[in-house]
Structure 1
Amino acid sequence: MSEKGVLNHPFRKGELLDLNCPSREILQHIASRWGILVLIALDRETLRFSELRKKISGISEKMLSQTLQTFEKDGFIHRTMLPVMPPHTEYRLTPLGLEVYEQVIHLSDWIELNLPRVLNAGKEA
């Protein structure tokens, strides 16, 4: 890492716009319809699948499962299988997931704070 905390690697800022930049796939995972909501729902909590599904209104089991699997592969989520009957699985953000969450929550807060302005801007157009 450099002194400013930015990784020294062959990808520079702006290469996200390049079709072949691997960061596009990660961006798609995070910014997907449900990705941001899963990050926000987990916050700093450890939740079971059913708790997450209740917390994120409108998400299907399939989409929640796919999003959690993708985030686990990306290293954003840690999954723990509990040895109970019936089996329970818990999810929590990893340190990397918490870093992503910190970025996403700023966007979420901005949207919440500026929602009236955004809605009015659409009416004025």
Structure 2
Amino acid sequence: MLDLADYDLDAEATRGAEMTVHDPKTGKPTDAVLRVIGQESAQYRANLRRIRDMVAAAPEREPADEDTQLMLSRARNAAAAITGWTNIGFGGSPIEFSLEAAIELGTKRPWFADQVLGFTAMRGNFGRG
């Protein structure tokens, strides 16, 4: 019998993990590293609520087109998992971490959001090594 009580992943998701960003063309690791939390983390859910509240405060800024809405939703879900980063920039300038910056990068570069979502979907990434 698979006893699901044996799989309480909250603590591991909350502790988080470091994720190396890989070059989207070559698949090779870069020097960019994200600190991410798992989807079971209370902080992840709090970040999603914060994003929801940001959206509710400015509904007029939401895109009308469904494709853009979908991409923005993926970027927001990925951003909710990111708690910090090193060696991330855009256009030659370093970017200081913030939830808003993470959403913007995930929107501008969907592959970035996809890497985060793929990493967080693998619960074993947050387990003790």
The TM-score with structure 2 as length reference comes to 0.27
TM-score normalised per structure 1:
0.28
**Bigger RCO (CA 8 Å, 6+ sep):** 2
Which structure would you say has the larger Rg? 1
Task: Specify which structure has the higher proportion of strand.
Answer: 2
